[in-house]
Chains A and B, each alone.
Chain A
Amino acid sequence: METENTFALLLFASLRDAAGADVISVHLPGAEPATVAGLLRAVEEQCPAIAKWLPHLRVAVNCAYATPETPIKPGDEIALIPPVAGG
């Protein structure tokens, strides 16, 4: 039986306003090792409101910037980071 992993993604600032939510969930097939790249593909398919933002976003896993190859597992704190403007 195919299993599925659900990931909650934190949203901030302009992205939070655009999505109308501060967190979204996406589902990944449980069969293959999950990575940030796979997560972003799932966002593109499952969250059309955010799809056009993807080229502008960075992904953070457990409070550090991640690369497409970064592995993820259920329970990780994952955030979509729109362009920052501190200072």
Chain B
Amino acid sequence: MIQIVETELPISEVTRAASAELGDGAGAVVTFVGTVRNLSLGHRIQYLEYSAYEPMAKAEMQRIVGEVHRRWALPCAMAHRLGRLQVGEASIVVAVASAHRKEAFEACHWAVDEVKSRVPIWKKEVAVDGFWWVEDPLGGAPGTADDA
């Protein structure tokens, strides 16, 4: 299960999707949930704005799920949220199910790292004192919050 949503993340649905594939053989489900933090490099965050190259983001998420399947032979499901997110809201959920917890932790950790390095999704941080794109390679001058 791969989803990109613009409303609240279906965390329990993603968790169930991973464990359902293993059926009664599942002894562990590791679910990672990423949430919006209130501070970034000392700036107090008002909200984040996520955007994506959506067809490729879905394709890349599907490839990561396929690689978890090949490397660990474990089911993985994930969803990412786009649009405006407030502090404390969930932006990503990744779940891996396994017979035993060790492999599930390991594969879930790997899958989250891969999402962060490969899936074409970007976030703009809007703080009380300006906004900027996270990972902007040329560090464009921060704009004012009114322009965000």
Contact = CB atoms under 8 A, between A and B. Distances in A.
A60 B117 CA distance: 14
Majority secondary structure, B binding face:
mixed
Given A17-B140, A87-B115, A63 B55 contact: yes
Contacts of A18: 138, 140
Interface stretch (B10-18, B20-28, B102-110, B119-127): B119-127
B133 A85 contact: yes
A84 B119 contact: yes
Interface string B66-101: 000000000000001000000000011000000000
B134 interface: yes
Given A60-B56, A64-B59, A52 B50 contact: no
A84 B133 contact: no
B138 A84 contact: no
A87 B34 contact: yes
A60 B92 CA distance: 23
Interface stretch (A6-14, A25-33, A39-47, A68-76): A6-14
B137 interface: yes
Given A60-B53, A87-B115, A82 B122 contact: yes
In this complex, the interface size class of chain A, counting residues with CB under 8 Å from chain B, is 20 to 34
Contacts of A17: 133, 140
B92 A87 contact: yes
B116 A56 contact: no
B140 A12 contact: no
A79 B53 CA distance: 9
A13 B133 contact: yes
A13 B92 contact: no
Contacts of B117: 84
A84 B116 CA distance: 7
A65 B119 CA distance: 10
B146 interface: no
Interface of A: 10, 12-14, 17-18, 52-53, 56, 60, 63-65, 79, 81-87
Interface of B: 34, 50-53, 55-57, 59-60, 80, 91-92, 112, 115-124, 133-138, 140
